[in-house]
Chain A
């Protein structure tokens, strides 16, 4: 991690839901992330970065879908070093993959309930938890609709419901606002803001989400975390003279070193 001050702030309080040291991640022979330190405590952590920066790879690893190539990973107090320890950690992780899979014949309710079961949510109370999660994303009327009949936005909301069902302490959301219309994005931001005590790590291309929700921003580029700090600090990276609306974008561009946004 390049920015020690920010890293310390993200990982302070001793309540780290995620604690990764010198993580190396990749596919096949390709190393996508090398020697990454990453920590997250309750609150929202935004992962920003261009395509191929390693955001999805990092989230997959934090979700314990893929094992790291090297380094240590601690999720919710469990050192994740194999299938067994990964399984222990998973019960506390709500994960929305970028391209999340579902059985098309599942109803929304069955999908959410099934995901709750996969995560180890106890049968007792799972029904209420599923209904609450479906309600939180506004799909009550579609609870009995099969997944294949949902629009892209609705399916995405069902995916979010599956991630938040049972209120896991760690939420990992890979581009959760893709496919949502503006009103739904507002509702999503409101939902994220309401998750007190939950550690939410989410990737996005939409800087306006960061602006609206706040929290910590981690900018990734080429497999490295090139910035870690608050939205205000990212704005400050834009340099003097940038108006409020575009400062965040310019700050982002400055930290990944790709020039200027439109003033």
Chain B
């Protein structure tokens, strides 16, 4: 099948699009490199372009397959000495391979951008295979559309558009998004093997359907009756697609990983412990830890801060899933600030049930001011302009100015706010 595959490859319109696909893929990834340096994040980033790559591959596959409807071509393909599905397989393989090469360009870029600074491990096959399965599924959908309609304009539009709509509508089921957000590659989570298998089966089932069934359409008197095996293979393909489609909504794509046995911790007091995969961030979080250790007296700083999932049964961990390193560090600093607050004043929710609204608002406002100030101190500067929002009623600029004032002034600020906290919070938890 090698020669047929290469011949199909050389006639495919996708071969002209391939450099464009690859360039757009890399350009999109390069536009925001917050993922670079951490393998799971780089893997998830490599998966994301499938949302636009898939529909383009579907359109190209549809165009190639639709050309089989040209006068005489169908007869030629039908009267082959090869097993009936092989010409379709060669055709579909060429489209799928071009799409996968476009996809792999992004994967290679992700590896290239990460390898110099990343921690242990490599790109995560779970994410990469999800992308490959989605790309192959789109190629198969395009092939089916082209073979069934035989329209070289209508089929690509329908297949490309249909695939785009499917990707958007089913992105969560396909594993391209999680809870409405792009899969971020948080090392605390990994692709569930059974969910991955289901999606790979969907791709395989669609491929089997595409190479066996469409060529049977339009059969009429004057054609040899296709062999039973061909119908059977097509029926199996359809059954696999149906089964996978039925299973997908019942599955979570990601699952929590077991806590690492040897997390990557800073050599500071307090310590900050990360997933080994996030080794890339160790230098930046070390700076946070050092600053957390230099907070004014009166605040209780925990001995260690953990990234989400690093410490089993601890939901207070921070996440490193916010794009750029700077943004990430701000959010880590914020998470650390809340931990300092909890450690100092007790659990946030602990306040008397009889508290008036005015008292509650005062306590709340004072807590938010402290959190913003703690975040700014730990972060080592004001809230980055790329981070929007913040605690309500708190002026980040004013807090930024406060964080530059002499230590005595800041200690006075802490004492004032601590008095408010102590006044209203449960005494049982306010153990400073």
A87 interface hit (Cβ, 8 Å)? yes
Q: In the complex the two chains form, is B82's CB within 8 Å of A101's CB?
A: no
Q: In the complex the two chains form, is A117's CB within 8 Å of B226's CB?
A: no
Q: In the complex the two chains form, is A87's CB within 8 Å of B80's CB?
A: yes
The verdict on A101 contacting B74 (CB below 8 Å), with A106-B11, A123-B3 known, is yes
Complex: chain A residue closest to B5, CB-CB = A117
Complex: chain A residue closest to B74, CB-CB = A101
Chain B residues with CB below 8 A from A103, complex form: 11, 67, 70, 73
Task: Render B1-42 as a binary contact track against A, CB cut-off 8 A, 1 for contact.
Answer: 111101110111100000000000000000000000000000
Interface size class of A (residues with CB under 8 A): 35 or more
The verdict on A86 contacting B74 (CB below 8 Å), with A110-B7, A126-B3 known, is no
State in angstroms the CA–CA spacing of A106 and B77 once bound together.
15
Complex: chain B residue closest to A100, CB-CB = B72
Complex: chain A residue closest to B4, CB-CB = A117
Secondary structure class of chain B's binding surface, majority of residues = loop
A141 interface hit (Cβ, 8 Å)? no
Task: Render A67-86 as a binary contact track against B, CB cut-off 8 A, 1 for contact.
Answer: 10000000000000011101
Q: Which of B73, B75, B227 contacts A84 (CB 8 A)?
A: B227
Chain A residues with CB below 8 A from B221, complex form: 27-28
Q: In the complex the two chains form, is A105's CB within 8 Å of B11's CB?
A: yes
B225 interface hit (Cβ, 8 Å)? yes
B349 interface hit (Cβ, 8 Å)? no
Interface size class of B (residues with CB under 8 A): 35 or more
Complex: chain A residue closest to B83, CB-CB = A87
Task: Render B62-92 as a binary contact track against A, CB cut-off 8 A, 1 for contact.
Answer: 0000010011111111111111100100000
Q: In the complex the two chains form, is A101's CB within 8 Å of B80's CB?
A: no
A203 interface hit (Cβ, 8 Å)? no
Q: In the complex the two chains form, is B84's CB within 8 Å of A90's CB?
A: no
Q: Which of A65, A107, A113 contacts B78 (CB 8 A)?
A: A65
Q: In the complex the two chains form, is A114's CB within 8 Å of B3's CB?
A: yes
State in angstroms the CA–CA spacing of A102 and B76 once bound together.
8
Task: Render A105-138 as a binary contact track against B, CB cut-off 8 A, 1 for contact.
Answer: 1110011011111111001001100000000000
Q: In the complex the two chains form, is A107's CB within 8 Å of B10's CB?
A: yes
Chain A residues with CB below 8 A from B76, complex form: 97, 100-102, 115, 118
B297 interface hit (Cβ, 8 Å)? no
Complex: chain B residue closest to A162, CB-CB = B76
State in angstroms the CA–CA spacing of A123 and B77 once bound together.
18
Chain A residues with CB below 8 A from B67, complex form: 103-105
Q: In the complex the two chains form, is A65's CB within 8 Å of B75's CB?
A: yes
A95 interface hit (Cβ, 8 Å)? yes
Chain A residues with CB below 8 A from B2, complex form: 123
Using CB atoms and an 8 Å cutoff, list the residues of chain A in contact with chain B.
Answer: 27-28, 60, 63-67, 82-84, 86-88, 90-91, 95, 97, 99-107, 110-111, 113-120, 123, 126-127
Using CB atoms and an 8 Å cutoff, list the residues of chain B in contact with chain A.
Answer: 1-4, 6-8, 10-13, 67, 70-84, 87, 221-227
The 7 closest A-B pairs by CB, nearest first: A101-B72, A101-B73, A120-B81, A105-B11, A90-B81, A110-B7, A91-B81
A-B contact pairs, 30 of them (CB 8 A): A27-B221, A27-B222, A64-B79, A65-B75, A65-B79, A67-B222, A83-B84, A83-B224, A84-B227, A87-B80, A87-B81, A87-B82, A87-B83, A91-B81, A101-B76, A102-B70, A102-B72, A102-B73, A104-B70, A105-B11, A106-B10, A110-B11, A114-B7, A117-B7, A118-B4, A118-B76, A120-B81, A120-B82, A123-B2, A127-B3
6 further A-B contacts with Cβ under 8 Å, apart from A100-B76, A117-B82, A118-B81, are: A87-B80, A103-B70, A105-B12, A116-B3, A117-B4, A118-B4
